[in-house]
Amino acid sequence: MSTSSTTISICILHIKQKQKTKSTYTTNSNYTNMTIRKSLVDAFKRNWNMYQDAVQNIPDEHWKTGDIEYLIPAQLVYHVLECADFYSNPTPKGFVWGHRFNINWQKVTPEQLPTKEQTNTYLEEMMKKVDSWLQGLSDSDLLSPEKAFPHTGKTTLGRALYLLAHCRQHMGEINAELRRRELPRIKWQ
3-state class (DSSP) for residue 155? strand
DSSP annotation of 145: B
Burial class (CB in 10 A: 0-12, 13-18, 19+), 100: middle
Question: For residue range 94-119, what is the model confidence (pLDDT) as tens digits?
Answer: 999 999 999 988 899 999 999 999 99
Q: Which of 70, 173, 169, 157 is nearest to 113 (CA)?
A: 70
Q: Does the pLDDT value for residue 23 go beyond 50? A: no
Q: What angle do CA 92, 141, 38 make, to 5 degrees?
A: 105
State the DSSP H helix or E strand holding residue 78, giving kind and residue range, or none if neither. Answer: helix 73-87
Q: Does the pLDDT value for residue 21 go beyond 60? A: no
pLDDT at 34: 83
Measure the CA–CA gap between 58 and 79, rounded to whole angstroms.
17
Strand ranges in 7-66 using DSSP code E only, listed in sequence order? none
**Which amino acid is present at 14?**
H
Measured from the Cβ of residue 172, the count of other Cβ atoms closer than 10 Å reads 13
Question: What residue ranges do the domains of the chain occupy?
Answer: 1-33, 34-180
Q: Does the pLDDT value for residue 24 go beyond 80? A: no
Task: Classify domain 34-180 by CATH number.
Answer: 1.20.120.450
Residues in Cβ contact with 23 at an 8 Å cutoff, skipping those fewer than 6 apart: none
Burial class (CB in 10 A: 0-12, 13-18, 19+), 43: middle
User: Average pLDDT, whole number, for the chain?
Assistant: 88
